[in-house]
Chains A and B, each alone.
Chain A
Amino acid sequence: MDFWDYVSSRREQLLNDTYQHASAVFQCMVVAALLGVGIGALTYRSDRAGRAATLVTGTILTIPSYALLGLLIPVVGLGVPPTVTALVLYALLPIVRNSLVGLRGVDPALVDAARGIGMTGTARLLRVELPIAWPAILAGIRVSTQMSMGILAIAAYASGPGLGNEIFSGIAGLGSANALNEVLAGTLGIVVLALLFDAALVLLGRVTVSRGIRG
């Protein structure tokens, strides 16, 4: 059976996995973005807190994904919980780091002006600093999204959702008729999804980044 025959015969299953994959990445990214920007916003005004945030998220990223999933299974069980936890944790570093860099990179004169005209700390963050840091934050979210696409594939090891299941069953059945097709279908699906997500994020940037600071 050649690859296209395989894809059409298993269409239902593949579409379902693709949808699961996309949905998992999307949801995890929303959580990671909120969490990451939140951590950035809480720590950017203090040198020490900012360093701690980068250090912790950076350390998480060095744990091999396979190992992290293995460690999470005894704690949160199999399936969706370890997958989501791992993805969010991995996605944090680029977002936290870019938030910090973006928020700290705001011209001090603007911060001074914002304070000088009577903005509260929160208003300054929401109306001046976050909008100006947004392109940098968005770049972090893009990196995280690409990473998550690949890492989610490994989550099939913990019975997670998504296209990783194709790849895993292919690897497990190596030598059988459809093994290569399975691996190929899973991989290609992930690549296509990653490109689509990236395009969507570029589009989001177009819509949400102020024309006054667009490069």
Chain B
Amino acid sequence: MAETTAVTATTGVTGATIELEGLSKRYPGSPQPAVDSVSMEIGAGETVILVGPSGCGKSTTLRMINRLIEPTSGRIRINGEDVTDIDPVKLRRRIGYAIQSSGLFPHLTVAQNIAQVPKMIGWGKQRIKDRVEEMLDLVGLDPREFHDRYPRRLSGGQQQRVGVARALAADPPVLLMDEPFGAVDPITRDHLQDELIRLQHELHKTIVFVTHDFDEAIKLGDRIAVLREQSHIAQFDTPEAILTNPADDFVSGFVGAGAALKRLNLTRVRDVGIADFPSATVDEPLQAILAGLRHGGVNELLLLDRRGRPYKWLRRGDLMRARGTLARAGTLVTHTVSRDATLRDALEAVLTDSGGRAAVTGRRGEYVGVVDMETLMDSVHQMLEADRLTALEHQEELLEHERATRPRDGEPQ
């Protein structure tokens, strides 16, 4: 708790905490509840993904948070305030809501769609107008071009963006997203996911996001709740911890094959040790380069171009053969990775490089170091080990928490 408040204070979180306590939904005439006593605490500014097979109740759980589905029992608290019994219409105006088919009103323009909630809560005309422009900018749509368009003249990806803009228009602290990228093609989906990450970086909303795509969950979530039928939480932890230490067979089945590979997507090159590599620039005299190769005790160096960008790998033998000119010596650098690249990209580059290493570049493409197979393997092993430990710790905590709460839950029966 102390940690969360500290984070809130330093990063300007605009989100609110969400607490679900024993939330259940029972439909009349069905013997099993659709959702059975979900308890969950979501921190302010956190992105939590509810993931699970279809029919597990993840959508129902999400829709109980803004009470589109009224819970049969249990409490919902937002920022500590019990909202289980307040006017649902008022509640929903404080919670952004984005859905799969975008749900844009076809008879209204993009601008009118976005303006809906601000209008309902009584903002002034000018303020709404400014806000619409701001929101379009935020989701990467040119206001001049899209302001007066009707939804049917937008692509699927653009519709989703407008849907998100509408959900965020009144600046709600909480955003609920129900498989928002489920109906768009994979490339657009990837794009939209990146956009959402960028948005969240700026806005720090509390996001609850439902998906059945585990890769999407890993990519977007601060924490992931893997749900089994009736919304029972199988595991609720960081993507790293779930990948390295799935709580049970159900979770590992859901994680799917290649967990270690997926884990590589979660770490950036900047987070692993970047090794130094002997380098020289094309402007240096040939003699100096040769001397460097001879006395440095290395067989190879990286030649940089005039702007300090990786240019060629030079072996000692290459120089001998080239006889005084650099133009024909060495092999051109074809793959570089930026410091923001994922380890998966780095691995790809290392594997395709004939020498088994990849040059790492900074923001302007300048050389900063090298990653090779060994560094990658070491850091991946360390990472996995660390993940496993934290996952174990979390599971321990979860068990203790359950032990502490079970007697109280058991009483009414």
Q: Residues of A at under 8 Å CB distance from B?
A: 107, 109-110, 112-120, 123, 127-128, 131-132, 210-213
Q: A110-B103, A115-B68, A117-B167 are in contact. Are A212 and B109 (CB under 8 A)?
A: yes
Interface residue? B99 (CB, 8 A): yes
Question: Which chain A residues lie closer than 8 Å to B117 at the CB level?
Answer: 117-118
A contact residues around B150 at 8 Å (CB) = 210-212
- Whether the Cβ atoms of B97 and A117 lie closer than 8 Å is yes
Q: Are B90 and A112 interface neighbours, CB within 8 A?
A: no
B274 vs chain A, min Cβ distance (A):
46
Question: Nearest chain A CB to B153's CB is how many angstroms away?
Answer: 8
Q: In the complex, A114→B107 CA distance in Å?
A: 13
In the complex, what distance in Å separates the CA atom of A157 from the CA atom of B85? 61
- 4 A-B pairs with the lowest CB-CB distances in the bound complex, closest first: A113-B103, A212-B150, A210-B107, A116-B97
Which residues of B in the span 163-214 have a Cβ within 8 Å of any Cβ on A? 166-167, 176
B residues in contact (CB < 8 Å) with A: 66, 68, 89-93, 97, 99-101, 103-109, 116-117, 120, 150-152, 166-167, 176
What residues of chain A lie closer than 8 Å to B103, measured between beta carbons?
109-110, 112-114, 116
Find B68's partner among A107, A109, A112, A212 (CB 8 Å cutoff).
Answer: A112
Of the candidates A116, A128, A213, the one having the most CB atoms from chain B within 10 angstroms of its own CB is: A116
Closest chain A residue to B150, Cβ basis: A212
When distances are taken between beta carbons in the complex, the residues of chain B under 8 Å from A115 are: 68, 92
Expressed in whole angstroms, the minimum distance between the Cβ of A181 and any Cβ of chain B is: 49
Listed A/B pairs (22) with beta-carbon separation below 8 Å: A107-B101, A109-B99, A109-B101, A112-B103, A113-B105, A114-B103, A114-B105, A115-B92, A116-B176, A117-B120, A118-B90, A118-B91, A118-B93, A119-B116, A120-B89, A128-B105, A132-B107, A211-B150, A212-B109, A212-B150, A212-B152, A213-B106
- Decide: B106 and A116 in contact? CB cutoff 8 A: no
> Which of chain A's residues has its CB closest to B91's CB?
A118
Which of A110, A112, A118 lies at the interface centre, i.e. has the most chain B CB atoms within 10 A of its CB?
Answer: A118
- List residues of chain B with CB within 8 A of the CB of A113: 97, 99, 103-105
Task: Contact check, B68 vs A116: say whether CB atoms are below 8 A apart.
Answer: yes
Residues of chain B within 8 A (CB-CB) of A117 are 92-93, 97, 116-117, 120, 166-167
- Whole-angstrom distance between the Cβ of B61 and the nearest chain A Cβ: 15
Q: Which residues from chain A contact B116 at a C-beta distance below 8 Å?
A: 117, 119, 127
* New A-B contacts (5) at CB < 8 Å, excluding given A116-B103, A118-B89, A210-B108: A112-B68, A116-B176, A119-B120, A210-B107, A212-B107
Q: Output the nearest chain B residue to A209 by Cβ-Cβ distance.
A: B107
Contact A212 B108 (CB under 8 A): yes
Residues A109 and B100 in contact, CB atoms below 8 Å apart: yes
Instruction: Write out the residue numbers on chain A whose beta carbons fall within 8 Å of the beta carbon of B105.
Output: 110, 113-114, 127-128, 132
Find the B residue at minimum CB distance from A109.
B101
**Complex CA–CA separation, A211 to B107 (angstroms):** 7
Q: Which residues of B contact A127 (CB under 8 A)?
A: 105, 116
Identify the closest chain A residue to B120 (Cβ). Answer: A118
Chain A, Cβ-Cβ closest to B109: A212
Instruction: Collect the chain A residues with CB atoms within 8 Å of residue B89's CB.
Output: 118-120
Shortest distance in angstroms between A102's beta carbon and chain B's nearest beta carbon? 12
- A132 engages B106 (CB within 8 Å): yes
CA distance A113 to B151 in the complex (A): 14
Residues of the A chain whose Cβ atoms lie less than 8 Å from the Cβ of B90: 118
- Shortest beta-carbon distance, A182 to chain B, in Å? 48
Question: A116 contacts which of B99, B104, B151, B152 (Cβ < 8 Å)?
Answer: B99
Closest A-chain residue to B148, C-beta based?
Answer: A211
- What is the minimal beta-carbon distance from A127 to any residue of chain B, in angstroms? 8
Counting chain A CB atoms within 10 Å of each CB, which of B99, B103, B104, B105 scores highest?
B105
Distance in angstroms from A29 CB to nearest chain B CB is: 24
Q: In the complex the two chains form, what is the Cα distance from A132 to B151 in whole Å?
A: 13
Q: Which residues in A have their C-beta under 8 angstroms from that of B92?
A: 115-118
**Which residue in chain A gives the minimum CB-CB distance to B149?**
A212
Residue of B nearest to A113 (CB): B103
Determine how close the nearest CB of chain A comes to the CB of B269; give it in whole angstroms: 40
- Min CB–CB distance B24 → chain A (angstroms): 21
Chain B, residue nearest A107 (CB): B101
CB closest residue in chain A, given B93: A118
Residues of A within 8 A of B97 (CB): 113, 116-117
Q: Tell me which residues across on chain B come within 8 A of A112, comparing CB atoms.
A: 68, 99, 103
Cα distance, A110 to B113, chains bound together (Å): 12
Least CB distance from A97 to B in Å reads 22
Query: Shortest CB–CB separation between residue A163 and chain B, in angstroms?
Result: 38
Report the minimal beta-carbon distance from A123 to chain B, rounded to whole angstroms: 7
Q: How far is the CB of B121 from chain A (nearest CB, A)?
A: 8
Flag if A116 contacts B107 (CB, 8 Å).
no
